[in-house]
Structure 1
Amino acid sequence: ELVARYVSLIPFLPDTVSFASICDLWSTSDQFLDLLAGDEEEHAVLLCNYFLSLGKKAWLMMGSAIPEGPTAYVLTREQSHYLIWNPCTGHFYGQFDTFCPLKSVGCLIGPDNIWFNIQRYDSPLRINFDVTKPKLWKSFFSRSLPYPGLSSVQPEELIYQRTDKAAAAELQDRIEKILKEKIMDWRPRHLTRWNRYCTSALRHFLPVLERSRGEDVEDDHRAELLKQLGDYRFSGFPLHMPYSELKPLIEAVYSTGVHNIDVPNVEFALAVYIHPYPKNVLSVWIYVASLIRN
């Protein structure tokens, strides 16, 4: 789950932007990490490579999903079942999970073969993933066309650099300052009051969210807010995004509509936390909230 999270934190950038007007290009994993941007294929290849290096049975899975359309996911074989991984979100699903966004599977790609789905169905819910069955999966390499032992275009190993924590902290402060200024700009007719106590509480909470990956902390957080801000009605939530540039962060905060609250005694709180991962992969948390005194 941790490697899936790491891969999902690398910003998404479609090939049409990366390689304008050129055909669909797949970057190698080292190029992907150097560019710090890629589409579904790059995310899926890197995640699949990580799983393979961890000794897992893993395949690149080409298919179609909602809302992406044609896409690449990763399939892993666990002890008695299969898991389907969305490499761009880091989420995984059981094969029979109806909430899985992947709706059809066309082929599986392993380290030394490609298997085409020739089953009656292509829905992950209804297909058999056993690639050893030739009536279900047509292999590219076979007895008539043996695998020639191709060398990989991927590097033998990936080199990682530590991310500068001081630079990440500086960026964190800068983003927080800019977002606060933006909220004030979006409320030109109203005075924007910032609640320091709430901001401080949110700053302490965001690293907890990062450590827990945003799970199972709701009750503790609610109790802490109640203790610190018992006199206020609190409305807010955290946003989590990979970092590529400021614009998507500003748009995300704007889309919350928190700046539209024009109750006379409203106060605001905004906190930002950036957790640095190797190779300058940054996990950005933004907590934006409004408070009204009871």
Structure 2
Amino acid sequence: VKGLSPEHQEKLQGIIHDHLRSTNAYSAIRAFVRDYLSSEEGIVHDEDKLLSALHEKRVVEQLLGSLGRDQASSSTPLASKHDSLSRGGKHLHLRFGRASAFLDCLAESGAPAGGTLIVHVLALGQRFTSRPVPAVAEPNFQDFSCLISFPPSSSAPLELLETRDPFHIVVVQHGDDDDSVIVGAQTIEWRKVLVSGYLSVHVELAAVGGDSKVSTGVLSLQMELLPRVEGKSAVDEAAVKSQIKSERDRDADVDRRFFGMAKAWWKEYLSVRPEHAARAVKIFSRGDDDVNRPVCSFLEPIEAGRAIRTVGEAARFVSLLEYQRIQVLGGTSGRSEAWADLHSVLAGRKGDVEEHALLLCALLLGFDLDAYCVIGSTQAGEPHMWVLTLHSPDPAQPPQATLWESLTGSRYTHVQSAPPSHKYGRVGCVFNQKSFYANCQQDDSVKECNFDIRDERLWKHLDASLVTALPRRQPAPIVMHSSQSHQMEEALEASLKQLVSDHRRDTGLATHWDSHLAFLLGGALYSYEAERVTGVASGAVEFQQSIRRAVPDGFTFKGFPIHFSHLSSHRMLRDLLRSKVASDIISLHGGVQQVRFALRVYIAPYPERVCAVWAMLAVIYARIDE
């Protein structure tokens, strides 16, 4: 239709209008709307509910059928578009509309605060991301839709009814400086769509970080099952409600039994030594949905596939996610005690120390390592969480313990009683998706800790059968996005060079760039990133040799490498100017014969559009003999 001239569009509309009027299609719709509005359901005039009812009563299908199309292929244009997919099983089409009440996207003046919004969807182990749209109070997501595939083994409606994993939706706001903030998140129960094959809902987003009762926006969402359910193939509404209630009752029973066991276990733990009450033993934590859950239920192994190839890359990837201490209003600590869903962490590309540790542990579990999250404190007494892996080459000997810092990607081999090279002070408990152990040792310092969790004199464990029975969500897969890192490097390098040149020009200084020297800097940046991944330094000798040959006699080389996890050249310049070494380089005086600058940028792409960005600003300048 878009390709037709206005005259042809008007003519086509007239033909359709005459045909629908001649077939009494308009009369059928008016009769339905009149009956709907006179019913109790129609007391509240809601456009989406009305459209949903029209679909359920097959009015739209009959209308399209009057145009001469086959009934089976005319349920929606999308049904025919994905007909080839539908033959292989069931699919669920999610279509977003115009949202509302995104008041945090407004400045104090009432005007849009700027930036963009992106919707992230996790559904049945599949992830979808919308295109960015302007961040306004009523953002328009109408161009965003996703087709969710059900497992081939779950093609019948009754089998789909037993697929209980809810959908998780996150909306992220991105600023102009490559910064991001999670606007809100919500889980939705999708199985009501099995009744008629079509469902229209409004999803009220909740703030994350312990403020889940605060509404941050409302999404409009339509769901349609493909191919459409027909007659006896549909699921009765009572069956859907019964299934959901049965699952909730079952989960509640598991939670009750776990809570009863944990209560008795805690009394036994305190009877061993009363001072255990002051240790960092955390059996429950609040999720970002404000529900208290056992900490073990926050973990599930994540297999990253080809996105992350080694455990070193896993640690490096997690460390590149921005560390954000979640603050809340009021309270004694001023920080949130809620643990965010890992899908929210991946969508926002940031998290608190607990989310970093949970994600790293989940990835190491995916590599089939014996990994655990550790809850304890630093040597300074600050609450902290890190990761532990155990390796037992000789079952007769205590396992070898390695401590992983998720915020930096560093790892430390633990040797009991040896002077520590890390910041960890005390350990209260360790846990993963299958087990929970509390430290029973008289000295709870990490330095003196024996991590042989098999020894019941040293560690008290919860009943593993109740831990594994806990309800939990399907983990979010890691997504590797296509990246043109070379083009990104060139663009970022050019932008940062221009900013440095402009800054010097504002102080009356000219800037001359040396492309060959910039090329030599690249090898060092690549080695820095490789060292962060492997823990092994290399390439330093060759880099020093090449620089010595490139620097003329009577000149001095000075370089300043720096690491970023964002792509904002303006933020990079601000960080450079805050460093005395870099600021001294930028402020050097001299003409082209005395001072030549170089800048090199290296970008190492990781999953989830996360990047390790290395930059080196360097200068060759003539020495002044005193």
Q: TM-score, normalised by structure 1?
A: 0.84
* Structure-2 change in CA distance of 1:121 and 1:248 (3 Å): farther
Structure 1 residues 48-197: aligned runs within 5 Å: 48-65=361-378, 69-78=382-391, 79=393, 80-96=399-415, 98-139=420-461, 141-142=462-463, 146-147=466-467, 149-153=469-473, 155-165=474-484, 168-169=488-489, 172-173=492-493, 175-177=495-497, 179-181=499-501, 183-184=503-504, 188-197=507-516
Deviation at 1:179, TM superposition (A): 4.8
Deviation at 1:69, TM superposition (A): 2.2
Residue 351 (structure 2) aligns with = 38
Q: What is the SS of the residue equivalent to 2:338?
A: coil
Q: What is the SS of the residue equivalent to 1:216?
A: coil
Distance 1:11 1:246 in 2: 17
* Structure-2 change in CA distance of 1:252 and 1:30 (3 Å): same
1:128-187 per-position Cα deviation (integer Å, ceiling 9, x unaligned): 112222332232x239x944611223x2451413143267346533553355246526x7
106-115 vs 238-247, which moves further: 238-247
Distance 1:67 1:226 in 2: 43
Q: What is the SS of the residue equivalent to 2:339?
A: coil
Aligned-pair RMSD on alpha carbons?
Answer: 2.9
Distance 1:179 1:106 in 2: 49
Distance 1:68 1:200 in 2: 46
Larger Rg over CA atoms? 2
Deviation at 1:275, TM superposition (A): 1.7
Distance 1:31 1:244 in 2: 21
1:169-208 per-position Cα deviation (integer Å, ceiling 9, x unaligned): 46533553355246526x7154444333322322454234
Q: Which residue identity is paired with 1:236?
A: G
Distance 2:379 2:514 in 1: 40
**One of 551, 563, 566 as aligned partner of 1:243:** 566
Distance 2:599 2:381 in 1: 32
Q: Does 1:221 align with 2:543?
A: yes
Q: Which residue identity is paired with 2:529?
A: E
Residue 278 (structure 1) aligns with = 607
Residue 268 (structure 1) aligns with = 597
1:247-275 per-position Cα deviation (integer Å, ceiling 9, x unaligned): 65334312332333545444332222222
Q: How many correspondences in the alignment?
A: 287
Distance 1:270 1:90 in 2: 27
**One of 562, 573, 583 as aligned partner of 1:259:** 583
- Contact residue 377 and residue 383 of structure 2 kept, 8 A: yes
* Structure-2 change in CA distance of 1:87 and 1:22 (3 Å): closer
**One of 525, 535, 540 as aligned partner of 1:206:** 525
Distance 2:492 2:502 in 1: 15
Q: What is the SS of the residue equivalent to 1:253?
A: helix
Distance 1:183 1:146 in 2: 62
* Structure-2 change in CA distance of 1:132 and 1:208 (3 Å): closer
Q: What is the SS of the residue equivalent to 1:51?
A: helix
Residue 51 (structure 2) aligns with = none
Residue 621 (structure 2) aligns with = 292
Distance 1:25 1:182 in 2: 45
1:35-71 per-position Cα deviation (integer Å, ceiling 9, x unaligned): 1011211111111011111111111011112579211
* Structure-2 change in CA distance of 1:203 and 1:68 (3 Å): farther
Q: Structure 2: which 5+ residue stretches go unaligned?
A: 1-311, 329-333, 394-398
Q: Structure 1: which 5+ residue stretches go unaligned?
A: none
Q: Does 1:8 align with 2:8?
A: no
* Structure-2 change in CA distance of 1:22 and 1:235 (3 Å): closer
197-206 vs 75-84, which moves further: 197-206
Q: TM-score, normalised by structure 2?
A: 0.42
Q: Structure 1 vs Structure 2: percent identity of aligned residues?
A: 25
Distance 1:24 1:270 in 2: 43
Q: What is the SS of the residue equivalent to 1:16?
A: coil
39-48 vs 190-199, which moves further: 190-199
223-232 vs 52-61, which moves further: 223-232
* Structure-2 change in CA distance of 1:171 and 1:132 (3 Å): farther
Distance 2:365 2:578 in 1: 39
Distance 1:44 1:191 in 2: 47
1:204-263 per-position Cα deviation (integer Å, ceiling 9, x unaligned): 542343344482221111011112224331111321232275565334312332333545
246-255 vs 24-33, which moves further: 246-255
